[in-house]
Structure 1
Amino acid sequence: MSKLSFRGCAALCALTTLGAGAPLQGHAQSLPLDPAVHTGKLANGFTYYIRKNTAPRNRVTFYLVNKIGSMQETEAQRGLAHMMEHMSFNGTTHYPKNELVEYLQKSGVRFGADLNAYTAFDETVYQLPLPSDDSSIVRNGLQIMRDWAGEATLDPTEIDKERGVVLEEKRLRNGAQQRFQDQMMPLQVNHSRYADRLPIGLESVLKTFTPETIRSFYKDWYRPDLQALIVVGDIDVATMEAQVKQMFATLKNPAKEKKREYYTIALTGKNQFMALTDAEQQRTQVQVMIKQPELVIRNREDYRRFIVMQMMNGALQERFQQITTQGNPPFLQVQAGLGGFMGGLDAFTVNIAPKPGQLKEAFNMVWTEVQRMQRFGVTAAELERGKKNFLQEFEAAWKERDKTPSDSYVKEYVQYFLKGAASPGIDAEYALVKTLVPGITLDDVKALAKQAIRDTDRDIYMEAPEKDKASLPDAATVDGWIAAVARAPLQPWQEAATGQSLLETMPVAGHILQRSGPDSLGVYTCVLSNGIKVLVKPTDYKNDQVMISAFSAGGTSVYPDPLFMSASNAAQLVAANGLGNMDPVALSKLLTGKNAMMQPFIQERYQGFQGGASPADLETALQLLYLEVTAPRKDTNIFNGLISRAKASLAGRGNNPDAVFADTAAAIMGMHHYRRQPLTEARLEEVKLDEAYRVYKESFANAGLLTFVLVGNIDTARLYPLLEQYVASLPGHAGTSDWKDLGIHIPEGKVNATVYKGNDNKAVVNLVFSGTYAYNADNNMQLTALGSILQFRITERIRETEGGAYSPRAGVTYNKLPEGRYAFSVQITCAPANVEKLIAATKEEMDKLKTNGPSEDDVAKFVAETRRSQELQLRDNGFWMQYLVGRLQNGDPMNAVLHFDERLAMVTRASVQQTAAKYFTNENEVRLVHLPEAK
């Protein structure tokens, strides 16, 4: 994926709540569109982009992009652009009612995960990934896109059913953050039209609009001159283009077209301030936003400015990381940088989370660094590191150019169509980057900082708990803080020390005792002289990726409760201190331009390491591993800072209704065991640096107990000498280790708890049905099928029939160790008045599965989705890493995946019904409900 596609994806994510800009105007030197993309415009104005791409194989992704959103709504239509998106899934000419979703699920497409859409201020986008090895599915996929473009039926009965779903989606947003957003939005958008056109709309409109009102919106705006079809995947481009022309050329624009207005947010030159409080806000947060004209990358100069922006943003991030790491600053975290906003604007934004009672100190410290950047720009060393990292990221993307996922291309072309954002292709873009980056100067960054960090068009927003209302500063006070910082003398940023090399002396190499493989899975195995076992699966799924995992049994389970807090935080704390004689800042600088990382972990039953690297930097990753075993660093100042921030982050947690419910649920589900209690300041006091350091050293004292798994683009001939140098040299010997069964599991019997917290008209229901389980591959497949089919039934009943929730969730988990157990869970967010009704509906659907079994359609959907998902997983490094580690830890046969299709074929209506009858016993039921406080 190219840097532009990364930026395009980031902009796309932002645009799901913000807005797109005006259409592309003429630019004499605009960067040309990637010639690999076949594009055209039909006589009716409909645009298409088609590209062949085989990552993943036998898949194609369709996107239908409409240059319309909530900004095109009339006052009587507020919320109907989003409602229209929903209705496109509830009936079209060729797929009435819910037949569209049913057909796609039986074709292996997952609703929500694969099949989806979003509505923003200025666009509505539908996505449809499909198998491409079945021409009938591809043809029907095109027909679905054609139906979405102009043939939604908008049946009144379906409209009324969907009202409840959209209202429940709106309910999900209820909370302190939404209340803050509702008040801040008019200021943020300078009282423009955007303030009155949030895509979710108005409840009053959603409840009462007539079918004719939404039909009017559809006829006016869903039209070919505002639409584009993007097709990327493993397809024949010429055949696809012919089908697109045949199918979409018949779309017609309205006889009387409404003008499509392009709205922007005007800069006023004024500064604005707002301080807000809420009883449910956990802690104070501050945002400073300096609005300015948007940068849309269309030509070479735009791109150069984008690179300069990355240099400034990267240096700011690095500085605040250093301040946070090396000291005990008055803030919990800071984010600062220049990026996209909305309505034709970018914004230099600073987000500050002060420690309780240290608002002024935090603001002044952060604003001092902002001013330092504004006055002096970046240092020569910062610029050099920024350039190296930028080039390394691009080189990595370029190396993966033949493995770039189709979704990345699609999202890039979405921005090309909507905003004219350049999409020249990775070859041209990498060449451009290599040309531009060396010429970026200190003066370039300084000039941008002076322009971006200015004293006009500056908004300041404060969000705080209600109890802090009287102590919050007003606009004049904050302006005084800013003025004082501006008057204060400042020196340029002082560079911290940088490490010279990871290893001062090379370790004494060990050797490989024995090798075997490849086995039936393509896995090689070797045993090292210090007892370490290594499994290696070379793949060609990614060109620039090697994943590494190592583990041994033990974890926190082998330590007594009084040491639990130190043990459970040991790996995180020690890793945060750096390595050897380098603190984390020096270590980070030393790794500039490297694509390598390694992190230790100490979990309940295992300890080990997880990381990865590009093939070129694999040696660096193994050097990091060697140091993490042999030279962990202990730093009291860093430890004290971490604990101080952790304590401060807990302040006000009792105000947050969701946090209170989550803590209660975790304690109940963990049998109120000491190790499952919520984190508190008192528990943090139990964390001792010396204890944590001792646990860490003990956990990895004998590296010979570790098992390593490496997956990715691996040359074994190059790997084996590296294993001998950095892994076989680790201190240790062959042996065995084990974990301790703590006896903690989901409680048995009937457990019923209700938490009354908060004032929003919103309820959350968690139902868990659990028990002991005979874990094996056949049972696992049947249980997985039952969990997926329960999700189908819950979605159909709770969402579609009852209109009672937007996204009810159901599923199953199971484990072999420490003992075989299963758990079915259902989560529903709904109106408080509907809690009992929806719980009853859930249990009724479970009873139906016990009594009648699933439908043939439900079984067909599960089989299709599972088979298609497995096809993709088998070409994913992450899947193989998880699979191999899981098999090793459980002691399961390694070749089980080779018999996947056989077990999938055993899933039938009868088998699922038998599984439901066996496990839907209601003997062990946990019912957790979150309701608002009584008024």
Structure 2
Amino acid sequence: MKINHYAIVLTLGMAVYACSPKVAGDNNKQEKANAAATIPVDSNVIIKKLPNGLTYYIRKNVEPKNRAELYLVNKVGSILENDDQLGLAHFTEHMAFNGTRDFPKNDLISYLQKAGVRFGADLNAYTGFNQTVYQLPLPTDSTEVFKKGFDILANWAGHVTFEDKEIDQERGVIIEEDRQRGKNAQERMSKQLLPVLLANSKYAERLPIGKVDVLQSFKYETIKAFYKDWYRPNLQAIIAVGDFDVAEVEKLIIENFSDLKNPEKERTREEFTIPGNKEPLVKIITDPEFPYNVAAITVKHQEVVERTENELITRIKTSMINSMLGNRLTEIVQKGNAPFIFAQSNYSAFQGGLVNLDAFNTVAVSKDAAGLKAAVQAVVAENVRMKKFGFTQTELDRVKTNIMTGVEKQFKEKDKTKSTNFVQLYVQNFLKGQAIPSVDYTYNFYKKNLDKISLEDVNKLAATFFTEENLIAILQAPEKEKANLPTEADYISWIKTAGADVQPYVDQVVNKPLMAKKPNAGTITAENKIAELNVTALTLSNGVKVILKPTDFKNDQIIFAATSKGGTSLASDDIFRSAEMADQLVNSSGIAEFDESQLGKLLTGKVVGVSPSISNYREGLSGSSSPKDFETALQLTHLYFTAPRKDEKVLKTQLEEMKAVLANRESQPTAVYQDTLTAVMNAYKKRAQSIKINELDQITADKALNFYKERFANAGDFTFTFVGNFKVDEIKPLLAQYLGSLPANNNKENFKDLGLEPLKGDITKKVYKGLEDKATVALIYHGDYNYSDEENLQLDALKAILDIKITERLREKESGVYSPRVGISYNDEPKEKYTISINFSCATANVDKLIAAAIDEVNKLKQNGATAEDIQKFNAEERRQLEIQLRDNGFWLGYLQNAYASGEDPKKVLTYLDTLKQVSINSTKASAAKYFNQSNFVRMILLPEKK
């Protein structure tokens, strides 16, 4: 169990992006020099404007093949709302899917689903303070569908109908979106934090979700006025990137968008910012459901949008600083006895880039409130150390090497770059004017300029990051810690006095080979080929099985995995909790004689990573590398089998982190609910339940490492799968040397059935936890299963079709939920079992009604089967997804690994599309009757605490 560090960062609104700071001392002369060295625009993208002001970007790109990404980008967001329109920028985005001139009501979604476009996963949109973006991925091998895509974008851009009934229907959906994403500690604390983070600015009054009272009561004309004012061509861009004819796409854009008109009396599109502050802004808040003790310190900086080469150099230096400072903080944890359980300092976009500012952000998480001072002062001391003394030459040399390695990888993959990557660049170019250079330009620029960046230049920039002006200091803690928190004055004093006696950082350089002596090679004893799949299966002299599929999907990628039966199921009860920690301990302890920090330094400049894992019923590892670093990946693999490390300091830190999480777990509604659900779905077996604080004392490094060694002692029981850019004959010697030399015996282990299966019967379990009017519901059907390709297909179809029906019923008809989900699971290990789940959140008053509606949809499937239209949608989605998957290394790795692990014929993928005809109205009716069996049915409901 680990802290969700990313969730903590998001709680504070600090997503990490690579942005550039404002360099102190800029002057007019420098600005003129910058302007003279503008970054050139990639010549592969066409950028033009229509006479009405609409901007368009077109680029041909063949990855993925026969696909295109179409986007409508609007310089329109919640910041432009009037006081009576709070939330209507976001509401407008929703209404675009609920009826336009050419697509009444939900016809648009249905039309696209028939073309294999998934609502939510593919077709989607988002609204921020300053932008609203619609995304529409489409196949290009269907001329009709592809052309229709531009009609759809034009309908969104200027022809949303806003029917009264549809507006009223959508009010409930958006209120439920607010409920699903909020009504928790994070939202309650955000309401107190945002006036401080966004102080004295319009942003504080214009959160995209808006206000519930406005959403419930606004007049129809009010939202129509917003659309008329702001959805206009001179604030819009069309982005088209994909496998198509550029001239034809330009023609389609001109045909579909030239008739759009700007209002006769245009409202001025103002730009807004957040003012600076001389004195610190401070906020200390608590909440009974907040689980952590978190300190956050933000220093606001002026945003710099990269348009010039000097600004690009600054961004590179910023990236270097972030990396080196992050490594120092990681090293503190690695050495043990760190005063924080998590810490982070970096220069990034303020509020995740939603606001036009940059910021230097520092976060520290302590074990408890009593440890906050030490945690804050320790991480701030590193900021001060950076400010006073900068970095060392050896640190800079390593980070330069890593950066250049990343740029070279991007350059090698330039013809395999996904269209979505280009789209995101063009979105930022339109919204902010961000430069869009070619990959060739970027590669040559880094090659020419990276070595010219001096340590003095980097340290000079680093010294400007952490300042006393524009500082915001926040503390968040559980309510029970309130008495132990500092005053605002004390908190600021901690920050100002931290690092007073810091000394320069001393870099411990590593100068040893990863593997001093190569192992004696084994031999290849058997080889079989599957020509239809271009797959080769090898058996090595120690019994290791190796599956190889060379591909050309990526130029600089090899990915691999290994698996064997056993897992923690083979751990005795007295060492089980240690066994659960085994892979986590080894992953964080380094390898052989190198701890994690040393290993990172040792692998400088290499594109490689290997990670062991142990689950309930299997152990294995996964990894990736460039072709150039493939031997290093195999060396790491060999060492994870033969020379795992235990680091007592690492375990101590991990246990402290777990203790901090567990100390407040009972205060979190979602955690209590999930723990209860897990218990019910595993018949309350102890092995499946979350660890308790008093069990942490049972965990020792020796027990964990010994169990790990047991699981990896016999490599002959493992099957390795490799997919990527390699030649089979060229890598055979490496496989024989590093995998063929692994210790092995003839034993073939199996897992132990732990009896982790759901309670039988018709069960309703209610959990009362939480302060807000919010319910979470899970409806779960489960039972024994006949695992086979035929049954799996029918369950997949049921899942996809029920997903459509539940969304149509609970969201569109009932207006009672935002994003219901249907999940499915079928397994043949340790037993053949299946589960189908329906999950949603809603108002507490609507729980019974929505459960009844969901069950009603299930019963309709049981009585009538799926409609022909829904089967068509399922088939289209499966066909389109398979087309993409067959050109994806990750798909092949998972597919081949599973096929060989279960003894199935891997060639079945070639005939999968033919099997879709097995899905019919009658088959779905029969499957629904079989699998939606209410005799094994669980209703799990989370409700607020009774008052």
| TM-score where L is the length of structure 1 | 0.96
User: Would you say the 8 A contact 1:287–1:351 is kept in 2?
Assistant: yes
Matched letter for residue 50 of structure 2: L
Aligned partner of 1:110 in structure 2 is 118
- Secondary structure class of the residue paired with 2:589: coil
Partners of 1:301 and 1:112 in 2: CA distance: 40
1:97 and 2:105 are equivalent in the alignment? yes
Aligned partner of 2:701 in structure 1 is 689
1:910/1:541 CA distance change after superposition, 3 Å:
same
1:196 and 2:198 are equivalent in the alignment? no
1:358, distance to aligned residue in structure 2 (A) = 0.6
User: Would you say the 8 A contact 1:499–1:587 is kept in 2?
Assistant: no
Q: Among 634, 657, 664, which residue is 2:676 paired with? A: 664
Aligned partner of 2:440 in structure 1 is 427
Matched letter for residue 444 of structure 1: D
Aligned partner of 1:832 in structure 2 is 844
1:822, distance to aligned residue in structure 2 (A) = 1.2
Partners of 1:34 and 1:666 in 2: CA distance: 52
Partners of 2:340 and 2:317 in 1: CA distance: 28
1:146, distance to aligned residue in structure 2 (A) = 0.5
Deviations 1:671-694 (A, max 9, x none): 110111112222222212111111
Partners of 1:453 and 1:617 in 2: CA distance: 38
- How do 1:588-607 and structure 2 match up within 5 A? 588-607=600-619
- How do 1:909-920 and structure 2 match up within 5 A? 909-920=921-932
1:497, distance to aligned residue in structure 2 (A) = 4.4
Aligned partner of 2:150 in structure 1 is 142
1:929 and 2:941 are equivalent in the alignment? yes
Aligned partner of 1:131 in structure 2 is 139
- Secondary structure class of the residue paired with 2:770: coil
Q: Among 271, 284, 299, which residue is 1:290 paired with? A: 299
Aligned partner of 2:328 in structure 1 is 319
Aligned partner of 1:59 in structure 2 is 67
Matched letter for residue 639 of structure 2: L
Structure 1 runs (4+) greater than 6 angstroms displaced: 13-17
Partners of 2:208 and 2:202 in 1: CA distance: 12
Matched letter for residue 909 of structure 2: V
User: Would you say the 8 A contact 1:598–1:610 is kept in 2?
Assistant: yes
What percent of counterpart residues are identical? 44
Larger mean CA deviation between 159-168 and 885-894 belongs to 885-894
1:335, distance to aligned residue in structure 2 (A) = 1.2
Q: Among 235, 238, 252, which residue is 1:229 paired with? A: 238
Aligned partner of 1:88 in structure 2 is 96
1:276 and 2:278 are equivalent in the alignment? no
Matched letter for residue 245 of structure 2: D
1:472, distance to aligned residue in structure 2 (A) = 1.1
Partners of 1:170 and 1:359 in 2: CA distance: 32
- How do 1:886-901 and structure 2 match up within 5 A? 886-901=898-913
Aligned partner of 2:769 in structure 1 is 757
Partners of 1:210 and 1:632 in 2: CA distance: 66
Matched letter for residue 540 of structure 1: D
1:482, distance to aligned residue in structure 2 (A) = 2.6
1:646, distance to aligned residue in structure 2 (A) = 2.1
Aligned partner of 1:418 in structure 2 is 431
1:626 and 2:638 are equivalent in the alignment? yes
Q: Among 186, 207, 216, which residue is 1:207 paired with? A: 216
User: Would you say the 8 A contact 1:654–1:660 is kept in 2?
Assistant: yes
1:190, distance to aligned residue in structure 2 (A) = 2.3
Deviations 1:270-297 (A, max 9, x none): 3111100111111211100000111211
User: Would you say the 8 A contact 1:809–1:828 is kept in 2?
Assistant: yes
- Secondary structure class of the residue paired with 1:402: helix
1:456/1:20 CA distance change after superposition, 3 Å:
closer
User: Would you say the 8 A contact 2:45–2:58 is kept in 1?
Assistant: yes
Q: Among 797, 805, 811, which residue is 2:823 paired with? A: 811
Deviations 1:902-934 (A, max 9, x none): 211221112111111121121101111000011
Matched letter for residue 513 of structure 1: T
Partners of 1:422 and 1:74 in 2: CA distance: 32
1:16/1:223 CA distance change after superposition, 3 Å:
farther
- How do 1:10-21 and structure 2 match up within 5 A? none
User: Would you say the 8 A contact 1:561–1:674 is kept in 2?
Assistant: no
Gaps of 5+ in 2: 1-9, 22-30
- Secondary structure class of the residue paired with 2:121: coil
- How do 1:151-170 and structure 2 match up within 5 A? 151-170=159-178
1:14, distance to aligned residue in structure 2 (A) = 7.9
Matched letter for residue 293 of structure 2: T
Matched letter for residue 105 of structure 1: Q
Partners of 1:124 and 1:637 in 2: CA distance: 47
| TM-score where L is the length of structure 2 | 0.95
Aligned partner of 2:562 in structure 1 is 550
1:484, distance to aligned residue in structure 2 (A) = 2.4
Aligned partner of 1:6 in structure 2 is none
Aligned partner of 1:443 in structure 2 is 456
Aligned partner of 1:370 in structure 2 is 383
Matched letter for residue 189 of structure 1: L
Partners of 2:107 and 2:493 in 1: CA distance: 62
- Secondary structure class of the residue paired with 1:452: coil
1:521/1:138 CA distance change after superposition, 3 Å:
same
1:195, distance to aligned residue in structure 2 (A) = 0.3
User: Would you say the 8 A contact 1:40–1:47 is kept in 2?
Assistant: yes
1:884, distance to aligned residue in structure 2 (A) = 1.1
Partners of 2:277 and 2:593 in 1: CA distance: 52
Deviations 1:409-465 (A, max 9, x none): 001100000000010111111111112211111112211122111111100001111
Aligned partner of 1:456 in structure 2 is 469
User: Would you say the 8 A contact 1:790–1:811 is kept in 2?
Assistant: no
Aligned partner of 2:50 in structure 1 is 42
Aligned partner of 1:299 in structure 2 is 308
Partners of 1:515 and 1:855 in 2: CA distance: 48
Matched letter for residue 64 of structure 2: P
User: Would you say the 8 A contact 1:499–1:589 is kept in 2?
Assistant: no
Aligned partner of 2:757 in structure 1 is 745
- Secondary structure class of the residue paired with 2:723: strand
Partners of 1:297 and 1:572 in 2: CA distance: 40
User: Would you say the 8 A contact 2:20–2:303 is kept in 1?
Assistant: no
Aligned partner of 2:504 in structure 1 is 492
Matched letter for residue 162 of structure 1: E
Partners of 1:553 and 1:519 in 2: CA distance: 28
Aligned partner of 2:719 in structure 1 is 707
Partners of 2:877 and 2:16 in 1: CA distance: 27
Matched letter for residue 647 of structure 1: K
Gaps of 5+ in 1: 1-9
Aligned partner of 1:845 in structure 2 is 857
User: Would you say the 8 A contact 1:887–1:894 is kept in 2?
Assistant: yes
User: Would you say the 8 A contact 2:394–2:509 is kept in 1?
Assistant: no
1:332 and 2:336 are equivalent in the alignment? no
